[in-house]
Amino acid sequence: MAKPLNERKKVILALMKDKDYIPMKEKELAIMLQLPKERREELTETLNELLAECKIECSKRGRYSIATTKTARGVFTGNRNGYGFVTIEGREDDIYIPEKETLHAMHGDEVKIILLATPRGKRQEGKVVEILKHNTTEIIGFFEKKNSFAFVLPDNQKFNEDIFIPSNLQMNAKHGDKVICKITFYGDDKKKPEGEIIEILGNVKDPGVDVMSIARAYGLIPEFPDEVMEEIEKSKFDITAKELEGREDFRDKLLITIDGEDAKDLDDAVSLEMDGENFILGVHIADVSHYVVEKTALNKEGYNRATSVYLADRVIPMLPKELSNGICSLNEGVDRLTLSCVMTLDPKGRIIEHRIVESVIKSAHRMTYTDVNAIITEHDEALCKKYSDIVPMLDNMAALSKVIRENRKKRGSIDFDFPETKVILDKKGHAVDIIAYERNAATDLIEDFMLAANETVAEEYFYREMPFLYRSHEKPDEDKMEQLATFLTNFGKNLKFKNGEVHPKEMQKLLASIEGEAYSGLIMRLALRSLKQARYTAENLGHYGLAAKFYCHFTSPIRRYPDLMVHRIIKECIHNKMNDKRIAHFANMMEEVGTHCSERERRADEVERETVKLKKVEYMEDHYGEIFKGVISGVTNYGFYVELENTVEGMVRVGDLTDDHYDYVEDKYMLVGERTGKMYVLGQEVTVIPASIDKLTRTIDFVLIEGQYGEV
């Protein structure tokens, strides 16, 4: 039995599956396997694992045998209506759990279930027989006071029960407050779950409380721990002569930052010089790792956060503002420590030489995308005069950007040009408008230069064979591509496969073919969902979406921990400190760092989406009864989703289509009227009115407009 756990499990399962096996107690199994006493713990561990996996069972008399009841373990997903689903690792479909069979499991709980007899063709049902672990300890919600009784109504609709709060555990919360309550009792057949108030976020009507409630529900806390702030207070952020030793001095070079008007954490600057026909492009990135070093509270907290989170009304930064907006921000006219990737490109945009160095810079101008775009595309007279010292450089940058972008397009890089929007808030945090984010030549220019630096750095460290953190985007699954191809036939589009794969160029051609169509946003989203998610890996797996062999994140260490880790490795190599001990140090942690940072990135994306969705719903509350044009973005058997021109999405329910009874045609993604033959299909333009808006669930129901407003 002196084998790894998985091998031991195989031995036990093989023994118990033998036709001559008779159920045995643990001691009898140990004797049969000839295990000495000092190794009995191995057997106990193996049996416990197999029990937890529901592969074996133990009788009341302690005898072990292969499980006869079809059981499984997984994670419970709740529903406000009482029923739920259990997700089982390795199984594609979730198990439906009827309300009476949940055993009062709470959303997020790890549970053991038995599979129930289910009619053929119906969704597999199950019954929770044991709650293995409660994963939720705190709930954020609305405090409802009724005389001496009080409850917390969870914001998350997947928690299907209110939490009772005893009178002595209410922390003086008032009716209408948003609160955080700690669960003290998870409920049973006789009593509701109970809890105690541990924090009051503010009244539900107070500015910013709605957004902060969502952030806190995801475990995001704006404030930094005391030990981090104590380190900051003790730090001296003056650049000394000693810190400049060995650094390449770019302070006499013409460098600029180009960012959005509201940006405060300026972590990249660019420069461009001409060497005959060749371009010498400098991408200069804040040397954050100089200030955030290993084995500090600051580094620990930065790793824990792993990314800055951009919400509708605020930023929850990865690093305190003293760094992100201060010493690490490449502000105009001040010395800043940087890591520079200096690339020489020929007239065709090919990188023929590069170097990565520690440096010091001084930004000449804090430029905005708006002003740079006006200079390079409109040749705005006033701006060209104001920034006359950098206009020639900007013109050369625009020319180089065009060449780099064309090269990337030729190799098959996919550009998902979504119609992105920003919700505009008033001083009280209320949504008053939804405006389009405009990409322009300046945003493209910065993107092109940052991608070039990221690829260059990744390629160098791949060939150096150093431990590294890559940004990987793997090839899509064949099944997902086939499903997408089937869907596209509804629009007269097709995808070409070669050896079971779709080359990025084919995706690029698809997106080009739908440009300008009303349904283009829909197809882009479905195409994106068909691809795998990009993630951080210790192994270089390439980047499918960029059609790049090598890729990493190097350019944003203020707001992304993976970039900070990449900088740390580069600096150790620059200073010749990457000995066997340090190589082993980084190699041992890299996979875990990649997984952690990928998970934190997913969390940030989700909370950002939820806060924007909340504000979009809030905006639509002020537009009841108004008429909107939209496109059908999803079809189900209970209705269809409509995306408005302002990117707000809501549903038209089948029950509200009163002119006929509609059947759902799954393979065609459409609803068809039995009597009229009227069809509602993906991509179809429709006219709707907001009819029901629920800010708590962040959902909108539309009613279809026909007749006097024109036929759909």
Residue 546's pLDDT is what? Answer: 95
Angle between helices 520-530 and 478-488 (to 10 degrees): 160
Are the CB atoms for 332 and 364 separated by under 8 Å?
yes
Give 119's pLDDT tier (boundaries 50, 70, 90). low
Q: Where are the domains of the chain?
A: 5-66, 71-133, 138-206, 230-436, 623-709
CATH 2.40.50.140 fits 71-133, yes or no: yes
- Summarised one tens digit per residue, pLDDT across range 300-345 is 999 999 999 999 889 999 999 999 999 999 999 999 999 999 999 9
Residue 710's pLDDT is what? Answer: 35
CATH match for 623-709 among 2.40.50.140, 3.40.50.300, 2.60.120.10, 3.90.1150.10: 2.40.50.140
pTM for this structure?
Answer: 0.83
- Summarised one tens digit per residue, pLDDT across range 197-233 is 999 999 988 889 999 999 999 999 999 999 999 999 9
Q: Measure the CA angle with vertex 354, ends 350 and 355; round to 5°.
A: 165
Q: Hey, is 189 helix, strand or coil?
A: coil
Residues 6+ apart with CB under 8 A from 498: none
Q: For the CA atoms of the chain, what is the radius of gyration? A: 29
Token pair for 234: 């003790």
End-to-end CA distance of the chain: 71
Residue 708's pLDDT is what? Answer: 35
Q: What is the DSSP letter of 644?
A: E
Own/partner long-range contacts of 20-28 (Cβ < 8 Å, ≥24 apart) = 21/65, 23/59, 23/63, 23/64, 23/65, 24/63, 24/64, 25/61, 25/62, 25/63, 25/64, 26/62, 26/64
Dihedral sign (CA 151, 152, 153, 154): negative
The CATH code that applies to domain 138-206 is 2.40.50.700
Reported as type and span, the H/E element at residue 491 is none
Reported as type and span, the H/E element at residue 447 is helix 441-464
Closest by Cα among 418, 402, 405, 415 to 504: 415
Are the CB atoms for 552 and 471 separated by under 8 Å?
yes
Q: Hey, is 533 helix, strand or coil?
A: coil
Mean pLDDT, rounded, of the chain: 90
Amino acid at 279: F
Report the pLDDT averaged over residues 45-53: 81
**At 613, phi and psi to the nearest 5?**
-60, -40
- Summarised one tens digit per residue, pLDDT across range 504-563 is 888 888 888 888 777 777 788 888 888 899 999 999 999 999 999 999 999 999 999 999
- Residue 405 or 238, more confident: 405
Distance CA 384, CA 390 (A): 9
Are the CB atoms for 143 and 178 separated by under 8 Å?
yes
Distance CA 196, CA 309 (A): 29
Distance CA 231, CA 297 (A): 8
Are the CB atoms for 635 and 671 separated by under 8 Å?
yes
The fold of the 5-66 domain, in CATH, is Arc Repressor Mutant, subunit A (1.10.10)
Distance CA 642, CA 685 (A): 9
Domains 71-133 and 138-206 share a fold: yes
Q: What percent of the chain has pLDDT over 90?
A: 63
